[in-house]
Amino acid sequence: MMKMKIKILFVVLAIFLFLAPEILAASSSFFSNAQNWYNSNCVRRPERARGQQAVLCYAFDKLNELHQTNDTQDQKITELEQRIEDLEVLHPTPTLTPISAKRVFITSTIYNGNLGGLAGADVKCQERVTAAGLGGSWKAWLSDDSISAGSRLTHNSGSYELINGSKIADSWEDLTDFSLDAPINISELNTTVNNPWVWTNTFGDGTIRQINNSSCINWSSTSSGGSTGDSSRTDGGWSDFGAIVCSSSRPLYCFEQ
Cα separation, 232 vs 194, in Å, equals 8
pTM score over 0.85: no
The tens digit of pLDDT for each residue in 227-256 reads 999 999 999 999 999 999 999 999 999 999
Domain CATH code at residue 126: 3.10.100.10
pLDDT band at residue 74, thresholds of 50, 70 and 90?
low
Question: Looking at the 3D structure of the chain, how many domains does it have?
Answer: 2
| 73 and 144 within one domain | no
Q: 157 with 78, same domain?
A: no
Looking at the fold, whether 48 and 119 belong to one and the same domain comes out as: no
* Integer Cα distance of 197 and 194 in angstroms: 9
Indicate if 114 and 210 belong to the same structural domain.
yes
For residues 55 and 128, membership in a common domain is answered with no
The residue segments making up the domain with residue 106 are: 102-256
> Mean per-residue pLDDT for 96-100?
76
Band of the pLDDT at 188, cuts 50, 70, 90?
very high
Give the number of other Cβ atoms within 10 Å of residue 29's Cβ.
11
Query: At a CB cut-off of 8 Å and minimum separation 6, what does 157 contact?
Result: 99, 171, 172
pLDDT band of residue 124 (cuts 50, 70, 90) is very high
> Quick one: pLDDT band at residue 99, thresholds 50, 70, 90?
confident
Quick check: is 243 in a domain?
yes
Q: Do 63 and 35 share a structural domain?
A: yes
Lowest mean pLDDT among 111-125, 168-182, 202-216, 228-242: 202-216
Q: How far apart are CA 128 and CA 119, in angstroms?
A: 15
How many other CB atoms are there within 10 angstroms of residue 51's CB atom? 14
Cα distances (Å, whole numbers) of residue 104 to 6, 167, 169, 186, 233:
61, 10, 11, 8, 15
Bridge partner list, 106: 253
Give tens-digit pLDDT for 20-54: 444 444 444 555 656 666 666 666 555 554 555 66
Does residue 112 sit in the same domain as residue 86? no
Strand order in the sheet with 167-169: 138-140, 253-256, 102-106, 160-162, 167-169
Domain boundary among 90, 122, 141: 90
